[in-house]
Structure 1
Amino acid sequence: MRQCIDYLTQSRDDWLIGCDRQQLIELTQQLYLEIAQKQTPAKILLLESEPVKFLAGFIAACAAECLVFLGNPHWVEQEKQQVFELVQPDIVLGDRDGEISRNYAANSPATPNSNWIMIPTGGTSGKIRFAIHTWETLTASVTAFRQYFDLQQINSFCTLPLYHVSGLMQFMRSLITGGKLAICQLKQIENQELSKIEPEEFYISLVPTQLQKLLQNPTSTAWLAQFRTVLLGGAPAWQELLETARKNRIKIAITYGMTETASGIAILKPQDFLKGENNSGQPLPHTQITICSDTGEQLAPNQIGNITITSKSLALGYYPEQFKSRDKFQLDDIGYIDQKGHLNIVGRSSRKIITGGENVYPEEIETAIRATNLVKDICIIGVEDSTWGQAVTAVYVKSQPNITPNTIQTAIKDKLSKFKQPKHWISLDTLPRNPQGKLNYSYITQIATNTIKATISTN
């Protein structure tokens, strides 16, 4: 795995933009020598917020064939405690007054394997887990991306956290293919501190909330339109946002993927997006996607069912357990393959609401409500109900102060079947989202349940 450092030292002088490449090389070699002195492969927890220190720790740990756990430096104390109990790291690399701190565990249990790369997933509604990857699974994702877009070198513009799979894979694509990597915070772009690059050469990755912020400013909108491709993922994008991007000729590539698949396994190419398509595009060369019934039978095109994949970039399991089989991995998502071979996402099995015996997918209702332009944000959930089993409930942010539930109900009356229309409407100032734009469904459900109970008790 010394090849990790070889990639770095052999990279072009202008490879890294926004950070000091020479500092990265020196720090990586220093850390590698220190880590490699340990007699057995170490378990390293990487809690770095500064990009150069993060990349140095990651490359050094991979080169030394250690188990490296990527961590969110902004985890609260309870989350950190949960991670420490699970990982029991030998070494913790993290910021402390601008210096790298190294903490060594005295009695760490034996490692199940070496050279695993653990990427965090979850944490917004439940326990933090680590998807087990290797240099090979991450490389498989890079190779497929390059083949799909017919590229030799991939230039990435990264505004996302490097500890997140969507940020890490931008680094991997640039490093492995000999492309450039520009690292920039979203606030710099919002303040018009635009990096001195040629955008038409770069792929930039954004989550929907980031795209929305940039489209609110004419300067950043014009700048974004210059990019070769804007990869959009991390959370479902709403219709209004996509239409605004299309109107401004933003070359969006809607991506479908997750931590477990080392980012995108299906991507809609920009030319198809600009023609009006909003699906997730075709599977990448390293992935096969099938749609199956509840009994496992493969379904025909346009039939909705469970999304099942096989992929060379699929994680080995969740630390410390490996999957019993990686031949077929059934996802939580529901969708279908259309006649063009494009993947269309309908919703998530875990979010499905059963109300009065009818199956309801919240994404459909959210899309209809967003299309009215009466809300800034919307989340549809099912709340326990003695009559319906679950009551469809809308938790939303008004687009204007004078908007009432009746206003929205009137607007969607002819857009949704009666059983799909929300029975409860709860207005909030903002909806709780993480930095990637994903909603905290547990917290929203708790708020909705308490609000409905309080309303019932006062009536």
Structure 2
Amino acid sequence: MSIQRPWLANYPSGVPAEIDLQEFSSVVAVLESACERFRQRPAFSNMGKVLSYDDVDRLSRQFAAFLTGDLGLKRGDRVALMMPNVLQYPVAIFGVLRAGLTVVNTNPMYTPRELKHQLSDSGAAAIVVLDNFAATVAEVLQDSACKHVITTGLGDMLSFPKSLVTNLVVKYVKKLVPAYQIPGQIRFNDALARGAKQTFRRAELTHDDIAFLQYTGGTTGVAKGAMLTHGNLVANMQQASTWIGRNAKLGEEIIITALPLYHIFALTANGLVFMKFGGLNYLITNPRDMAGFVKELGQVPFTAITGVNTLFNGLLNTPGFDQVDFSHLHLTLGGGMAVQRAVAERWKKVTGVTLIEAYGLTETSPAACMNPLDLPEYNGAIGLPISSTEVSIQDDDGNQLPIGERGELCVRGPQVMKGYWNRPEETAKVLTGEGWLHTGDIARMDEKGYVYIVDRKKDMILVSGFNVYPNEVEDVVATHPGVLEVAAIGIPDEKSGEAVKIVVVKKDPALTADDLRAYCKANLTGYKQPRFIEFRDTLPKSNVGKILRRELRDTPKTAA
């Protein structure tokens, strides 16, 4: 298939058409390079404690030596990590990778059923878990192949006596650690001490080695492990780096990492890209505590922040956020879900910085498209295909569609996953022999190469034969001043097949369904207008704040 690349003519100055894939042989090589160049610079900060690049180098070596020396894990073995954003996380990630092993990132909020599936599916030989979530591990351990459990407290990597006080408060005052028993468990700090006595043997890794099993698709069926190789992650880091590196000052960047590092967006965009720049990842352990989050933002001269639409919206609606010092901020990157115009415009007004939308998937490590950083204002596009990336809008038969027509967004590039772990049939459904990944997103491309997401295939609402795309309805409703959050779904209707329903969280308590109907009538054509309106206190969201439309469809309530 011959692919036109109109986007290349519209790249920002200095962004190459192709990246240098050979600069780094692995994610570990990126870490080693950063530690050499920025050894005394701060790398990660959390709860008042800072780890320098030298600290990360030393501690991750110790953890790697423990895994191979004490536990006897062999190249390619899987190690699950089940923690929020704490300092143990980067130490564990880089330790696992330096040992030649594969990281299985695990959501700490998993139920026993979800964790059992992920442990058994991945065949993880070991797991590192924060005490707060260890009871879940204890419940499913006997049903998995996991032989080794490393546990850690929230304060374990803080300085004494803060480490002791933090752990005591978390366990006995806040009672956030349910009782658990795991015979033979090893404490994280003990593992580091034991590793320090072992000889660290550097694993020789290549682009083909699997770095991460990144699970995805849990809301649409059985969660599948996307096999992301060292080559995939290095490619995406290089792609993102060329895009944002022109504005980054080596060794001086401070990025707010509120999205969890177990999520591919934060892992690559924050953890790897800013490591290459010698930046500081300022870890937010509990971003849902918006008041506490805003207080922390007021204490650090941050230069960059990544997030999803709901995170930015939450910050904008938290008292005191508009008083934060944004004078150092030059990059705000939104992804993971559609950025709404109302949120983007308000962000620009409050911070003075454009909210740049990017697009990616777990299967693309994650970035595939990104808007230019010098964008003067929100444009509604997910951006241009990034360096070394091809994008094609295809019909259901795999034919490329002309510019401007809507079809499935397909992506090809060095960041596209190897496939799904032990699921060749599922892999074949989304990955063609020519390397095209079928994203399941409906999109169009304009003459300049900008890509616009219309919606997910499965989320599309069919009203009397007309396609209604939830994103469009949500974008309109979100601009109403009385609306805090909104989700649009399709529900069965005898007359039209499906009808549009919106579920709304109010900003203004006086807001009524009639207010919204009048607003939608003025802004949406007839078949797109919501027939049903429901008000709720909250919307169901994933671990990174993505609104789960499927849950709204599966648990209908009485609509107004």
TM-score by length of 1: 0.87
Higher relative contact order (CA 8 A, sep 6+): 2
Partner of 1:260: 363
Check whether the contact 1:125–1:440 (CA below 8 A) recurs between aligned residues.
Answer: no
Check whether the contact 1:7–1:175 (CA below 8 A) recurs between aligned residues.
Answer: no
CA distance in 2, matches of 1:120, 1:165: 10
Shift of 1:43: 1.7
Shift of 1:242: 1.3
Q: Secondary structure at the match of 1:84?
A: helix
Aligned pair 1:344/2:344, yes or no?
no
Q: Secondary structure at the match of 1:65?
A: coil
Partner of 1:296: 398
CA distance in 2, matches of 1:5, 1:358: 51
Structure 2 counterparts to residues 145-184 of structure 1, below 5 A: 145-151=240-246, 153=250, 155=253, 156-169=255-268, 170-184=270-284
Shift of 1:378: 1.4
Q: Secondary structure at the match of 1:271?
A: coil
Shift of 1:25: 3.5
Partner of 1:214: 315
Deviations 1:437-458 (A, max 9, x none): 212223211332x536xx9xxx
Check whether the contact 1:352–1:361 (CA below 8 A) recurs between aligned residues.
Answer: yes
Q: Secondary structure at the match of 2:517?
A: helix
Change (3 A) 1:400 1:106: closer
Change (3 A) 1:247 1:50: closer
CA distance in 2, matches of 1:57, 1:189: 25
Range with greater deviation from structure 2 (117-126 or 300-309):
117-126
Aligned pair 1:412/2:495, yes or no?
no
CA distance in 2, matches of 1:281, 1:106: 42
Q: Secondary structure at the match of 1:51?
A: coil
Q: Secondary structure at the match of 1:400?
A: coil
Check whether the contact 2:389–2:414 (CA below 8 A) recurs between aligned residues.
Answer: yes
TM-score by length of 2: 0.72
Shift of 1:87: 2.0
Aligned pair 1:89/2:124, yes or no?
yes
Check whether the contact 2:67–2:73 (CA below 8 A) recurs between aligned residues.
Answer: no
Amino acid of the structure 2 residue aligned with 1:194: G
Structure 2 counterparts to residues 41-440 of structure 1, below 5 A: 41=75, 42-49=77-84, 51-96=86-131, 115-151=210-246, 153=250, 155=253, 156-169=255-268, 170-185=270-285, 186=287, 187=289, 188-192=292-296, 194-197=298-301, 199=302, 202-216=303-317, 217=319, 219=321, 222-224=324-326, 226-248=328-350, 249-272=352-375, 274-321=376-423, 323-324=427-428, 325=433, 327-440=435-548
Partner of 2:555: 447
Aligned pair 1:40/2:63, yes or no?
no
Deviations 1:153-176 (A, max 9, x none): 484332221111122111111223
Check whether the contact 1:268–1:281 (CA below 8 A) recurs between aligned residues.
Answer: yes
Change (3 A) 1:287 1:402: same
Change (3 A) 1:400 1:7: same
CA distance in 2, matches of 1:97, 1:442: 28
- Percent identical across equivalent pairs? 21
Change (3 A) 1:5 1:367: closer
Shift of 1:224: 3.8
Q: How many residues align?
A: 444
Report the aligned-residue RMSD: 3.0
Shift of 1:4: 6.1
Change (3 A) 1:300 1:224: farther
CA distance in 1, matches of 2:488, 2:383: 25
Shift of 1:5: 5.9
Deviations 1:273-306 (A, max 9, x none): x245232221110211121223323222222221
CA distance in 2, matches of 1:49, 1:368: 34
CA distance in 2, matches of 1:221, 1:334: 39
Shift of 1:326: 5.8
Shift of 1:129: 2.6
Amino acid of the structure 2 residue aligned with 1:171: G
Amino acid of the structure 1 residue aligned with 2:342: E
Q: Which runs of 5+ in 2 are unaligned?
A: 1-25, 148-207
Shift of 1:50: 5.3
